Amino acid sequence: MVSAMLSRAIGLVRVKYIAYLFGRSAAADAFNAAFQLPDMISYFLIGGAASISFVTMLSRYDETGRREEGERTMSVILTTMVLVLGAAILLAEYLAGAYVRLLLTGFESDPSKAALCVGLTRILLPAQLFFLAGGVFGAVLIARRQFNIQVVTPLIYNCGTILGGVLLARRLGVSSLAFGTLAGAFFGPFLLNAVYARRAGMRYRPILDWKDPGLREWFRMSLPLIIGFSLVTVDNWIINFFASRVGGAVSLLTYAKQLFTAPVALGQAAGIASLPFLAALHAKSDRAPFARAVNASVSRILAFSILLSSWMIAMAGPAVDLVYRGGDFHRADAGAMARYFAIFSVSLCFWTSQAIYSRAFYAAGNTLTPMVASTLVVAALLPVYTALFHAMGPIGLAVASDAGIFVQTIVLAVLLDRRGMAPLAGLDYRELGCSLLASAASFVALMALRHVAAWSSRPQELVLLSLSGVVWAALSGVALRLTGSALPGQLLRRLRASE
């Protein structure tokens, strides 16, 4: 999780660079929205199955001593999906203009922005082939308990975007970022995973075999992921649909969400790392260790997320201004973005915990239940996004996002409880109560500090954020100790173990 946080920090450098060059301009809106069609193509054809379903399958093959059979299945699946995804990308290249007019309706008022978004979308589309192949090769490494490469690949991907801008921005404008992103996807997620998967003993051979039992099993597990709607992904699409009607809103909400996803990486990294272990536990006849592992992971990540959100909400203003203001991104832009970031931060504990709850289902080979549940949640909440946007503007979209992930997390937790896979009674409610008390005490102190301290200049902001970090850590630690929390000791043990 620490490594994933470092990778997200590099991602923030990428976002900072984009904001510095283009701020909240029409070019920035077009670039940030250009990722949506490629992401949708990948989501509906692969649905995360390249990693989620495949890790579960490969873990089972390895556990039962059928590694060669697993490698052949991997070759069949990858060959098949490259052909399918390649055909879809060609079709999307042709239909990109119609897509922008249909699902980014606000861009119609600015034809040049719409045309730029179409061009950028066409540049970014082929990157999905690299993500697909890299996801399969990365799944091989994860199934074999090799996680380090998954930390490095986002670094290369993000650096690709930055280098594209550094080398080509004067000549190509915002298109330089798209070309850099494409190159980063090739050298990072694809090439690095391919090289290290081969070093780990994986051998890929182009094979087409529609009758392969592994392909059929993968398709059966992946189908719910492909046809369902996960709020984790769809949330951004809904936000962009409405935000495209307000100039600069797509960029500001995207920047805020990307900054927010840095700490969300805690839950995502825990979910990714836990998947092969949970799959191995679920394969045993005694399911009690599986339930304990899920509840212990959720309890720890919930407790820490509750604590961290108190600092994020209280220090949103100076943090966003310090990190992002500069170039074409001005103080007023930072102020608007900080409001979105603070609202997103309220739901941090739900974003992190739902990542583990969903992977508990995936580890059991059940992709249908979480996807049906998430699809119903999305359908039920669409009117909420609509109503809040019309009532509050872009701020309402951030509020609706929080409401959506809260509902999804509760639904997944209840479903796991009813199936006896992770009883809600097994959560460490005492620990969660300690974290809530510590978080409340820290938040009050941080808000008082923010109001009495000056932060109108960069040095003042840096001093305030440094001091707030010390205050937050000290008060949280004292409060946790006084309430008898085990969290500080658990965190120290894991840090020592990671060394």
| Percentage of residues in the chain having pLDDT higher than 70 | 86
pLDDT at 125 over 70: yes
The residue among 411, 34, 493, 470 whose CA lies nearest residue 231 is 411
pLDDT at 195 over 70: yes
pLDDT band at 319 (very low <50, low <70, confident <90, very high): very high
Tokens 């950028």 label which residue? 120
Residue pLDDT, tens place only, 400-459: 999 999 999 999 999 999 998 899 999 999 999 999 999 999 999 999 999 888 788 889
326 φ, ψ to 5°?
Answer: 150, 155
pLDDT at 284 over 80: no
Residue pLDDT, tens place only, 80-107: 888 988 999 999 999 999 999 998 989 9
pLDDT at 285 over 80: no
pLDDT at 493 over 90: no
Lowest mean pLDDT segment, chosen from 14-28, 58-72, 341-355: 58-72
Residue pLDDT, tens place only, 215-272: 777 777 667 666 666 788 889 999 999 999 999 999 999 999 988 887 766 555 555 5
pLDDT value of position 495 = 58
pTM for this entry: 0.83
pLDDT band at 329 (very low <50, low <70, confident <90, very high): very high
pLDDT value of position 245 = 93
Please state the domain extents for the chain: 34-227, 230-499
pLDDT band at 306 (very low <50, low <70, confident <90, very high): very high
What does R_g of the chain's alpha carbons equal in angstroms?
22
pLDDT value of position 263 = 73
The residue among 350, 345, 348 whose CA lies nearest residue 412 is 350
- 253: tokens are 């909400």
Mean pLDDT, range 117-135, rounded to an integer: 92
- 326: tokens are 């500069």
C-alpha–C-alpha distance, residues 214 and 230, integer Å = 25
